[in-house]
Structure 1
Amino acid sequence: MPNAPQLLDFVTLEGLLAYGNRLAQRAPDERVDWPAVRACSLPSQLSRVKAATDAIAALVQQAPKGFPDAEAYRSARQTVVDTACGGDPVVFFAAWNRLLAEGALQPLLRAPIGSVLKPTHRRPVAIVPRAQLTPQLAEGRIVLDLGDDRFWLLPRDLADRTLLFTMRHGVSRVESKTHRVGRRLANELDPERGVPRAEAVGAALARMVGVVGRQLDFLNLSNYLDPGKFLHFISRSPNTRQLFERVAAGLAGGERVVPEPAYAHPLESSDFGWVTGMEKTAEAQELAAALGVEVPAAKRLIKDPLYCYPGGHSFFDLYVDVIDGLHRLGQAHPGTVACLYTHSSTLRALMIYLDPRPFHEAFTEFSDYKESQDNVVLLTFEKGRLSGYSTAVGLSQREKAARETWITVERVRKDRVTLKPRQIKRIVALVSGGDFAGAGAALKELRVTGNRLGLKVHFVRHGFLGLANNWIATVTEDDTRGMSSVASSPIGSSRFEDFKDETVQQAAMRNLEPYLEDGALVVLGGDGSLRGARAIFEGFGVQVVGLPGTIDNNIEGTTSLGYHSAVALADQSIESLKATSAAMGTVFFVEVMGAGSGHLALACAYQARAEGLLVNEHPDPDAYIDDVILGTLKQTLGVPNKSHLFVVAERTPHRHHSDGGVHGLVPYVAGAMAQWPPRQGRSGCYAPTQATKATILGHTLRGAPPTPEDKAIAQHVAYEAVHRLVERPDEVVGCMLAYRERAVIEAIPLHAVAPKQFDWELFARMHGSEPSGNLR
């Protein structure tokens, strides 16, 4: 098994000080706002480094307790420079990066700094294809045209939310592809390439917000957003001002006046200090020479998110400023639409924050943010949270870039496959994340097929937690008898957040290493478990295969194990409640699992013919409650033998309770119903009592007995996993096996596993408002 990533043991204080002092003496460039240079001798600097190192270490020890906001973190950092370092940024640069090389700065990545920690729950976006966009769904909502016949729906009422359009400048005179630019260099757009690109951004944004009515005339929609009321914010760099001017021209249209932009600190680019303006190749060569290593080794240090530039700061510092700052911008301007003109580093920070993976994993994913990538990130700030959805608005040849990225990443994946055909001797399997029906059938099939092909099979108890604790055991026929019919996971599962820590991963890999010589790991689980599988495949070279298992069924391109069983059990419960509702007239709200993913709730509601469905994906849950749920009840209450049942996905946000879902929903609906005139058939007749109740099915759905369909899917994907590992490992290692039907089981690379899009067409059909054929 490959060794764990090497430490940066070549980084020395003497080398860092020499490098920092050399850069501090660079000839001034009139375009650059140089950091102040403090004249100090090398012996004096070395004498200060110990105090500086201790002060930085104390700052890091404070990190788990957190900082109230970005300003508090910046202030604490600057205090170290001013006091322990004697105001000498070169001393700080050397002490900081020496601690980085030792791994001592890692706690900062998990420090609670204001609003910077990644959100644990995310509000999915309502992106609807043109074919599924109905008048009922779009009515009274903000509709944004994303191109490619996709439309983003937002609640019409912006009173408690802020909508942000975040754009980066195009190609500038000094290009960030080849030079360190940053906030200290007064850069301008390249007249031949940058200016036309900025004009294209303005035209695309104008189309997105200004001509929606013409593009969707079949829905008789008007333009909901008035660009004349937009706020505009820029950085100090001239190129963001130039971008604003081009976008403003695109938004102006007719006699509309676009307000002047204001300055916003979080839109600034990285601070590269004395490296500003240098060619990246020269920078790496200089650092390599100072540290006495080859250039690739020096680049490993430079590319670390915590690497601090001499006289400047780290990417992590920028990340803190951007995320905390945009939260503050959103909080300060409720009910408005703001255009933010900024730099690629800002968009990179946003994409890392919005990505559900841990910081370091997402940082690696977006390490090479290119000029040709997305130019707009759409953001909403509501209820103290920042949500966002990256989109290319027809500016960046997105499909071509996606194809090129796919080819490159696939080549890298295949290079990591070390198993050869007929070489495998053993399989290790685990179940991770939330438990689900069908896991037992898959595990048994892995054992049966593996043994038939001469392989030893081992199971890990309780997922990645078991790997870290070395709970690995060889499996025999006796161990798997009756396993196919066991509800949930017969070998246990777990959510093990500590596995995101590289130290924990290394401990798990030491336990796994004896089993991986001519062996492979099979991981059964949902999107989080598959991310863990990808991490150890890419980080440690583990030959891994993923099998999709989650009752949420939220992985694109496959049916996940556990989904059919959960729907079947939910259907039994819902039908029982419908019978009670028809007999008693009770209004039931049934909450099912699927926080952030409404696929399970949609299937349960459609199959049971529920009267309504409240899910995260809906653009305006509050309006749905008032218009659809209460509107339906007004029409159906009192109808003899009529059931009244609504399905709710857990944690769906609404104004009636901070926890969302059914919480607060029952008293609100009951209160509204109490205000309606009593329904009486004729004089002297009394209206029945209308009770309103909530039922939370919750984890009962995870422990559902496996249905024959889930068993069959489990056996098919497990059988294929073993056979392909034996015969064609290069086609399956580093992949998830996606089940479409028995004869179609496709290997999807782990790097391409994506969330499943919500089925708006089925949602519309359930409400009797499916799009007509002439909209297709």
Structure 2
Amino acid sequence: MANFNQKIKRIGVYTSGGDAPGMNAAIRAVVRVGIAQNLEVYGIHSGYVGMIENSIQPLHLRDMANIIQRGGTMLKTGRSTDFMKPEGRAKAAAHIKAAGIDACVCIGGDGSFRGAHALWEEHQIPIVGIPGTIDNDIFGSDKTIGFDTAVNTALEAIDRIRDTAASHDRLFIVEVMGRNSGFIASHVGIAGGAEEIFTPDGNVTVEKAIEHIKEGILRGKTSSILIAAEGQKPGRAYDLADSIRKKSGMDAKVCILGHQQRGGSPTAADRILASRMGAAAVDSLLKGFCDIMIGTEGERLVQVPLDVVTKTEKKSQMDLISLANLLAT
């Protein structure tokens, strides 16, 4: 955690990396709380791409009308390979300083926070991060903006799939997003009554899943739902289905939910979380704190140093997977 003594008159806000429902609510909070504190607020479009391309413009109260209910991000987002180079970061920092921006709020995930940390370390631009990612894989925060919406979106789809599975006595493997994180899979699995949950850091094998399914059949079960986190790339569920077929002769239907989990109107929980975090980010900057992320610990907001956030892995909740297996018996 770092401190700075510069008086803030103008702040910038940007979204970076994958979009997440609730980002607009966070932007809205930053802008409206900032203006209420007599700050000028500027939007940086398309994240670090916009920094390098100098796509920066003022945001006003009227710009925030009717965005809290919208998914995605009104500032757009992107990933910049140029920003990964020192000369790219120098160019971005020069544009920020030329625009008279004294400090920034970064809304994004792990990669976005590494960039924010580098801007402070290399160019002394004060930045506070807000965790916005459906994966919920950011160390230092129990919940990230967009996670609740993604879980509920996936759960609605799984409930519909279960109707079909039950009608046809079928086995379905539903693949959810999450990259290397198993948080969406574990939460959706327990809420959707899944028979088995495959996560990147889990210990469930195909053989164990087959055994579990067969035990259910002996008890009279006629359909099953398996949840699989996508892992490094989408399509893992097809490999699982093929392996199950070869080892057991059971035919498994596959449904990959994909990017629909990233879109849509954010839930009330995500809107409230984003609003609280946006306000806290502005407050932290006004109090001279920077190089931190606003996270949650239970219902409490906390400040976590960005170097700790980016260097520490957030572990999946294996107890949820164990509970899901117990409840599915």
Q: TM-score, normalised by structure 1?
A: 0.40
Distance apart, 1:741 and its partner CA: 4.7
Runs of 4+ deviating beyond 4 Å: 638-642
Report whether the alignment pairs 1:738 with 2:295.
yes
2:232 and 2:60 mapped to 1: Cα distance? 44
Contact 1:543-1:733 at 8 Å conserved across structures: yes
Q: State the partner residue of 2:247.
A: 672
Q: State the partner residue of 1:90.
A: none
What number of residue pairs does the alignment pair up? 324
Q: State the partner residue of 1:635.
A: 215
Letter in 1 for 2:290: V
Q: State the partner residue of 1:588.
A: 172
1:695-723, Cα deviation, whole Å (9 max, x unpaired): 11111111132000000000001111112
Q: State the partner residue of 2:117.
A: 534
1:430-479, Cα deviation, whole Å (9 max, x unpaired): 00011101100010111111111111111111111111111111112232
1:488-531, Cα deviation, whole Å (9 max, x unpaired): 112111122321111111111121112345x2110001111111
2:162 and 2:49 mapped to 1: Cα distance? 41
2:183 and 2:45 mapped to 1: Cα distance? 29
Contact 2:48-2:83 at 8 Å conserved across structures: yes
1:707-754, Cα deviation, whole Å (9 max, x unpaired): 00000000001111112322x11xx31100112355x21111111113
Q: State the partner residue of 1:757.
A: 315
Letter in 1 for 2:238: H
Residue aligned with 1:703, SS:
coil
Distance apart, 1:425 and its partner CA: 0.9
Letter in 2 for 1:539: E
Between the aligned residues of both structures, percent identity stands at: 27
Tell which structure's C-alpha radius of gyration is larger: 1
Report whether the alignment pairs 1:525 with 2:108.
yes
Q: State the partner residue of 1:625.
A: 206
Contact 1:565-1:710 at 8 Å conserved across structures: yes
Letter in 2 for 1:626: E
Superposition pairs for residues 310-459 of structure 1, below 5 Å?
413-414=2-3, 417-419=4-6, 423-459=7-43
Residue aligned with 2:226, SS:
strand
Q: Which one of the candidate residues 277, 280, 285 is aligned to 1:720?
A: 280
Q: Which one of the candidate residues 48, 55, 70 is aligned to 1:464?
A: 48
Residue aligned with 2:202, SS:
coil
Letter in 1 for 2:322: A
2:9 and 2:297 mapped to 1: Cα distance? 29
1:670 and 1:705 mapped to 2: Cα distance? 38
1:697 and 1:485 mapped to 2: Cα distance? 22
The answer to which structure, 1 or 2, has the higher relative contact order (CA under 8 A, 6+ apart) is 2
Residue aligned with 1:451, SS:
helix
Contact 1:611-1:646 at 8 Å conserved across structures: yes
Contact 2:17-2:112 at 8 Å conserved across structures: yes
Distance apart, 1:582 and its partner CA: 1.0
Report whether the alignment pairs 1:651 with 2:231.
yes
Contact 2:151-2:188 at 8 Å conserved across structures: yes
Distance apart, 1:639 and its partner CA: 6.6
Distance apart, 1:599 and its partner CA: 1.4
Letter in 2 for 1:645: I
Greater share of residues in strand: 2
Contact 1:462-1:494 at 8 Å conserved across structures: yes
Contact 1:614-1:652 at 8 Å conserved across structures: no
Contact 1:516-1:542 at 8 Å conserved across structures: no
Q: TM-score, normalised by structure 2?
A: 0.92
Residue aligned with 2:97, SS:
helix
Gaps of 5+ in 1: 1-409, 654-658, 675-689, 770-776
Letter in 2 for 1:630: I
Distance apart, 1:576 and its partner CA: 0.6
Contact 2:241-2:251 at 8 Å conserved across structures: no
1:504/1:667 CA distance change after superposition, 3 Å: same
Distance apart, 1:671 and its partner CA: 3.5
Letter in 1 for 2:206: I
Residue aligned with 1:486, SS:
coil
1:556/1:516 CA distance change after superposition, 3 Å: same
Gaps of 5+ in 2: none
Report whether the alignment pairs 1:705 with 2:262.
no
Report whether the alignment pairs 1:662 with 2:222.
no
1:765 and 1:720 mapped to 2: Cα distance? 35
2:323 and 2:151 mapped to 1: Cα distance? 19
RMSD in angstroms over aligned alpha carbons?
2.0
1:289-340, Cα deviation, whole Å (9 max, x unpaired): xxxxxxxxxxxxxxxxxxxxxxxxxxxxxxxxxxxxxxxxxxxxxxxxxxxx
Distance apart, 1:642 and its partner CA: 4.2
Distance apart, 1:755 and its partner CA: 2.2
Letter in 1 for 2:244: V
Residue aligned with 2:179, SS:
coil
